[in-house]
Amino acid sequence: MKKFEQPLRMNILLVEDDEHDRAAFHRAFRGVSYNCTITDCVRAPEALALIAADPAAFDVVVVDHHLPCQYGLDLCKELLAAAVPLPLVILTGSGSELVAVEALKAGVDDYIIKDPDSAYLQMLPPVLAEVAAAFRERLAHMEAEKSLSENRERLSSILEGLTVPTFVIDADHITTHWNLACEIITGIPAREVIGTRQQWRAFYPSERPVMADLIVDGVLEEQLTQHYSGKYRRSQLKADAFEAEDFFPHLGGEGKWLFFTAAPLKGANGEIGGAIETLQDVTERRNAEIALQESELRHRELSITDGLTGLYNSRHFYTRAHEEVERCNRYATPLSLVLLDVDNFKKFNDTYGHLEGDRVLAGLAEVIRAEIRGSDSAYRYGGEEFIVIFPETVPEEAHVVAERLRQSFEQHEFKPAPGELVHMTISIGGGCYHPEEALIPFVKRIDEAMYKAKSLGKNRVLFLEET
């Protein structure tokens, strides 16, 4: 599965008039693994001027909703109306969810709510990196669609200006015409086919009828189904003609997808005197459609995945957690949660650098994937914190898995420098869901259990029922 790569650098345009919030924004990006440049402006006109001067200078625009003289949402709408090729993220205060919803409907890429505890600051680096990467993916997707559209127009132009690959057979299935375009598309010269019944050689490894042969024989539906099951249909232009699309592995070096049509040639008395078949190479379109489908699948996966660890991201955690809480309340099933935090991670980072710190986080993700069950799900919650959802699991069962995680990670070896072997530990807090409890208080209780585990000496598992 493809993952968003960490950016080498990111240029952010911050439109924020509150000095304190600007300072907090800058602090949030200290210590990120990529080179981050933040350009500040306090008013909408300044932002418009900077973007107009050089939109390529920025990777993402972050706009606070409450700006002097103009709401941030209005600025975003103005940028969207101007088709500025930049992703937009709007910052709103608590209680402004309706503004966030309106922003998304208008086309803003994402929103972040400034909560009173400033927890949103932890979300800024990963969310903006994801938004910028997703926007780049979307641009690439649009370019692919544009390229596909241009290729189709070019193909149409060629077909109008050049001879369409075409061959004709008579009532005895003998090839009478095999034009130059047909020579090119099949790689078989006309002299080898005309006057023979070997038109099949261009398409199949052994003798079998082509669609023109079936037309000459007064084709029956069962015959078409036998040879082109699920691949053919009656032509919308000619009632007694058929068209189909199939892959021919013997055409060219890697095979070709052909769209082909066959229609009868009738004499004055209406009798079939032969058939004409036309060919069109649609390999590029087919490959583009497959690539487009794969790109859409990758985009869906990337939107819920943490780029460093390959685990789900915190935004997807809240989606899944809400679903599990609803299921828990509806069916009265147990639900457990554990929060893991790497002990002394800042000291490790300061000593060996962020790259080695990233390796520790990736190592912990590997341990989590190896130890949890298929029905469980793990998420990078933020920084060095990870969270695991245990559906239909009582605390005692979750505690066993948590202890196994702790022991397994403690045994994991890291080599941050030549000749140095380091073992890291984690503190884990856990607990079970209380019926009708809101999700945020539930997560907060688990968080408190984790911090208590740290206060008791770290490298331990502590469930709320034990506090």
149 has a pLDDT exceeding 70: no
User: pLDDT tens, 209-241?
Assistant: 999 999 898 876 777 788 887 788 888 778 788
361-414 residue pLDDT tens: 999 999 999 999 989 999 999 899 999 999 999 999 999 999 999 999 999 999
Strands 9-15 and 312-313: unpaired
**pLDDT band (50, 70, 90) for residue 447:** very high
Q: Which amino acid is present at 133?
A: A
Domain 304-466 sits in which CATH superfamily? Reverse transcriptase/Diguanylate cyclase domain (3.30.70.270)
Distance of CA 237 to the CA centre of its chain: 39
User: Considering only 55-69, 266-280, 368-382, which range has the smallest mean pLDDT?
Assistant: 266-280
Per-residue model confidence as pLDDT tens digits over 163-178: 689 888 999 999 988 8
Question: Quick one: pLDDT at residue 421?
Answer: 93
Q: The tokens of 192 are what?
A: 């080898």
At residue 466, the pLDDT reads 54
* Mean pLDDT score, 307-328: 92
Query: For the segment 85-122, what is each residue's pLDDT rounded down to a tens digit?
Result: 999 999 988 677 788 888 889 899 988 888 888 888 88
Mean pLDDT, the chain, integer: 87
Helix (H, G, I), strand (E, B) or coil at 201: helix
Instruction: Give the CATH number of domain 9-132; options: 3.90.1150.10, 3.60.15.10, 3.40.630.40, 3.40.50.2300.
Output: 3.40.50.2300
Between CA 381 and CA 313 the distance in angstroms is 7
Q: Is 449 exposed, middle or buried, given 0-12, 13-18 or 19+ CB atoms closer than 10 A? A: buried
- 419-442 pLDDT, tens digit per residue, is 899 999 999 999 999 999 999 999
Domain boundaries, the chain: 9-132, 162-288, 304-466
Q: In this model, does residue 154 exceed pLDDT 80?
A: no
3-state helix, strand, coil in the chain (%, to 5): 45, 25, 30
| Rounded Cα–Cα distance for residues 165 and 185 (Å) | 7
Q: Angle 131-136-140 (CA atoms, 0-180°, nearest 5)?
A: 145
> Which one, of 157, 201, 208, lies nearest residue 178 by Cα?
201
* 2 has a pLDDT exceeding 50: no
> pLDDT of 5-43, one tens digit each?
567 788 999 999 999 999 999 999 988 888 899 999 999
- Tokens encoding 352: 């060996």
Mean pLDDT across 147-167: 58
Same topology between domain 9-132 and domain 304-466: no
* Predicted confidence (pLDDT) at residue 1 exceeds the cutoff of 50: no
CATH of domain 162-288: 3.30.450.20
What pLDDT sits at residue 99? 85
Kindly state the average pLDDT of the residues 250-263.
87
Tokens 């190896």 map to which residue?
Answer: 370
d(CA 263, CA 168): 10
